[in-house]
Amino acid sequence: MTSALLFISTFLASGVEFVEALTIVLALGITRGWRSPLVGTAAAALTLGVIVAALGPALTLVPIDVLRLVVGALLLAFGLQWLRKAILRSSGYTALHDEEEAFRLETEQARQAGAGRRAGLDWYAFTLAFKGVLLEGLEVAFIVVTFGSSERNIPLAALAGVSALLLVVLAGVALRAPLARVPENTIKFSVGVLLTTFGTFWGAEGTGVSWPGDELALPAIVAFIALSSLALVKLLERRRVRIPAEAHA
Amino acid sequence: MLVARFLRFWWTFIVGDDWRVALGIAVALGLSAVFVKAGVPAWWLVPLGAVLLLADSLRRATRAT
């Protein structure tokens, strides 16, 4: 069960990040040609691969309790960040991320940028694709390494990340357009719940806690975090509607 | 300058918009370790702490709007 949850969490988190990276690469490819953004993407993917390959085996040498405490704390920090953003968006306090609007802005900026060349590449397209894919992918690499090392199963976490990458790339090649119909906030909400769940489970284990039912506690934690988060969305929605009404009274 | 940018990147990457949440996580895990050492069941502490930290962070984020 932990393996299935690990795969789903890594797959969904990776997918969301890759959708954002795809928007940047597509905007550059369509406006400035494909060669430089694709070289930038490949260079970033290689860098991420090196990070995973170097950190993954190194982390398996750390004692499991220490590793789970540190990884748990980091995943809790990550998960609560994702949940916070997703709840603020769901309840209408901040605008939903719009992939089409992001694509439009990227395209406009790419058209206006100068055409400097270095090493035979369109430098603007190369560096922007490299930075975009590296920054979006860093979170994926972090999740792959932490999940994989905590469960002593880096290949499964890496497989989930690569599967998400292939799916997003195939969809991007087929559509040649940003994946605007992906329910990004719902996925971010789910990933936030899963990251917070694993962070809670491993972090507490790292402090010496024995969970009732051991791994069977995981679905209960998922339910607790998910229901509490949904209740927070409802509370904020009600508050957002009430405050303007009171202001006009 | 480069070091400051590097540190700022990691701070934003890990801590994010609300440093109090990160501090709260450290406190919750610390308390959990103290409870375990004292022989008190502590499995409930971290999940409850996570939800309370999230609620408090959202309360502060929406209070300004």
Mean pLDDT per 10-residue run, chain A (249 residues)? 81 86 85 87 88 80 86 92 92 76 76 71 86 86 83 85 88 74 80 92 94 91 96 90 58
- Verify whether the Cβ–Cβ distance A84 to B29 is below 8 Å: no
In terms of Cα–Cα distance, which of B36, B40, B4, B62 is closest to A203? B36
Q: Write down the pLDDT at residue A247.
A: 52
How high is the pLDDT of residue A43? 92
Burial of A135 (0-12, 13-18, 19+ CB in 10 A): middle
Distance from CA of B4 to the nearest CA of A (A): 18
Distance of alpha carbon B35 from alpha carbon B51, whole angstroms: 19
Closest to A209 (Cβ–Cβ): which among B26, B43, B57? Answer: B43
What is the pLDDT, as a whole number, of residue A148?
83
Residues of A in contact with B18 (CB under 8 A): 84
Residue type for A17, please?
E
Closest residue of chain A to B42, computed from CA coordinates: A209
Does the distance separating the beta carbons of A138 and B13 come in below 8 Å?
yes
Which residues of B are less than 8 Å from A194 in CB distance? none
Chain A residues touching B32 at Cβ < 8 A: 203-204, 207-209
pLDDT of residue A145: 85
pLDDT of residue A179: 66
Q: Confirm or reject contact between A71 and chain B (CB < 8 A).
A: no
A185 is written with which tokens? 């906030």
CB A168 within 8 A of CB A160: no
State yes or no: pLDDT of B13 exceeds 60: yes
Q: What is the pLDDT of residue B23?
A: 95
Look up the pTM and report it.
0.80
Q: Does any CB of chain B come closer than 8 Å to the CB of residue A196?
A: yes
pLDDT at A123: 85
Q: How many CB atoms lie within 10 A of CB B57?
A: 22
Q: Do A199 and B50 touch (CB under 8 A)?
A: yes
Task: Return mean pLDDT, chain B.
Answer: 90
The pLDDT of residue A228: 97
Amino acid A98: pLDDT: 67
Determine the Cα–Cα distance for residues A196 and A187; give it in Å rounded to an integer: 14
Q: Which residues of A156-182 are buried (b: 16+ CB within 10 A; e: fewer)?
A: bbbbbbbebbebbeebbeeeebbbeee
A233 touches chain B (CB under 8 A): no
Interface probe, candidates B5, B8, B25, B45, chain A, greatest A C-beta count within 10 A = B25
Q: How many CA atoms lie within 13 A of A81 on its CB side?
A: 17
Closest CA in chain B for residue A212 = B43
- Mean pLDDT for B35-49 is 96
Cβ under 8 Å to B: A residues 197-216? 199-200, 203-204, 206-212
Q: According to the model, what pLDDT value does residue B65 have?
A: 59
- Considering only residues A151 and B44, tell me which one the structure prediction assigns the higher pLDDT: B44
Q: How far apart are CA A233 and CA A126, in angstroms?
A: 40
Give the chain A residue whose CA is nearest to the CA of B61.
Answer: A88
Residue A114 phi, psi (nearest 5): -70, 170
A72, B29: Cβ pair inside 8 Å? yes
Model ipTM? Answer: 0.91
